[in-house]
Amino acid sequence: MNSVATIVGGGLAGLSAALFLRRKRIEVRVIEAKCGVIDRVCGEGILPFGVEILEELGLAKQARARGRVLKGIKYLCGKRVAVGRFDGKTGIGVPRHELHQIFRAACKNEGVELCEGRSVSVEEGWVDARGLRALRERSPMITSRRVGARMRLNIDIGDRVCVAFEPFGEIYMTPIGPQQTSVAFLVYPNCVPPGVDWSIWLKAKFESCFPEYGECPLQDFAVRAPIAGFSTEPLGSRKAVGDSLCAFDPISGSGMSFALLSAYHLAQYWQDQTSFVRAIQPAIKAIDSFTGLLLWCSGGGWRSSLMTRQLARRPALFNEILRLHDAKHQVTDLGALKLGMLITP
Ligand SMILES: Cc1cc2nc3c(=O)[nH]c(=O)nc-3n(C[C@H](O)[C@H](O)[C@H](O)COP(=O)(O)OP(=O)(O)OC[C@H]3O[C@@H](n4cnc5c(N)ncnc54)[C@H](O)[C@@H]3O)c2cc1C
């Protein structure tokens, strides 16, 4: 052992950073506010570039066994559909708590010290893996918040993640097992009528979208997701991974994969912050440009109804941006992801 690392936040980013640091024979302590296995509202799909890092950690097989292989992404808006296929590589849809369980067990096996049930401030030299909480602290410009809820349905939607854009927000559908689909709603708070409890409103909305599943219990965790926002302020000497380094809008579908990638680079350049920043910058720019394209297609503001129409009109542009988006996420020589696009109006 030649060093000790303290990581604040035991989500995916914090635990993967802990594992990569342990592989470098660094002693690691993770401080997490919650106890036990953590679940949260989110889509549950890991893109192929994140799967590459799971492979690197030796955890992809376990994740696949508890989830489902993904072969692409589909955006839906009314009757318009934009479909992207992963070319030659696959993602994984896996229930979030199962993924956390896999990481937590690996950390315990590999001698990571887990201090759970403690909420602390990040001290100089510690790793900030506190997720959106850290981002909101640093970036007051990200003020708009969406609220969300998630549930799981016993239905099969094929092997693609689906993002459906509705006037009230987005619905993320991720296949997570045979006949199992995770459905997360992310809703603009101003869509909820004043004085109405958002979780009651959301449940009614869910029931109207999926009438045949109205009896399913809605897991109504609140999330504070950035609204079409991301923060790329200079890192300086701050060590950070995952959402607390740079949060992307969920539409990019990259959050977990970026958490894994940033953890990989952090450990790789543990003693060299400049190289860490240099290594992670291309991924940040690539995801930014992807999200930026989606926002641009939505007409500057957030008008998702326009977005899919624009994508359908410009398949070549969408294809190119997706290519750029994914080609930049290589860990070492992992090859470009290359999404083949098929746009159907
Ligand atoms: C609706 C929605 C859909 C999404 N869909 C996808 C998707 O399909 N695919 C994808 O890859 N990503 C998706 N994301 C994004 C993804 O969930 C996040 O990017 C990812 O979870 C970030 O991981 P993290 O470890 O950085 O943060 P988190 O998972 O938020 O972990 C941070 C941890 O830090 C802890 N913490 C915070 N403050 C303190 C403190 N002071 N002391 C101790 N502990 C603290 C918290 O308790 C938490 O456990 C989605 C997000 C949303 C909201």
d(CA 319, CA 323) in angstroms, rounded, equals 6
CA 147–ligand 1 middle distance (angstroms): 14
Structure confidence at residue 162 (pLDDT)? 84
Spell out the domains of the chain, with CATH numbers in brackets.
4-141+227-344 (3.50.50.60)
d(CA 25, CA 3) in angstroms, rounded, equals 8
Structure confidence at residue 149 (pLDDT)? 80
CA 316–ligand 1 middle distance (angstroms): 32
Q: Is the pLDDT of residue 171 over 50?
A: yes
Q: Is the pLDDT of residue 139 over 50?
A: yes
339 in Cβ contact with 329 (< 8 Å): no
184 in Cβ contact with 153 (< 8 Å): no
CA 275–ligand 1 middle distance (angstroms): 25
Q: Is the pLDDT of residue 34 over 50?
A: yes
pLDDT digits (tens, 9 = 90+) for 245-254: 887 777 778 8
| Ligand 1 atom 27: residue of nearest CA | 131
pLDDT digits (tens, 9 = 90+) for 45-64: 998 889 999 999 999 999 99
Q: Tell me the one-letter amino acid at 308.
A: T
d(CA 219, CA 35) in angstroms, rounded, equals 18
State the CB neighbour count (10 A cutoff) for residue 98. Answer: 19
Nearest ligand 1 atom to the CA of 248 is 19
Tell me the pLDDT band of 220, cut-offs 50, 70 and 90: low
Taking CB atoms and a 6 Å cutoff, what residues make up the pocket around ligand 1? Answer: 8-14, 31-34, 38, 40-43, 45-46, 119-120, 129-133, 148, 172, 174, 184, 186, 223, 225, 242-244, 250, 253-257, 259
User: Can you give the pTM of this predicted structure?
Assistant: 0.85
Structure confidence at residue 209 (pLDDT)? 73
Q: Is the pLDDT of residue 126 over 80?
A: yes
Q: What is the mean pLDDT of the chain?
A: 76
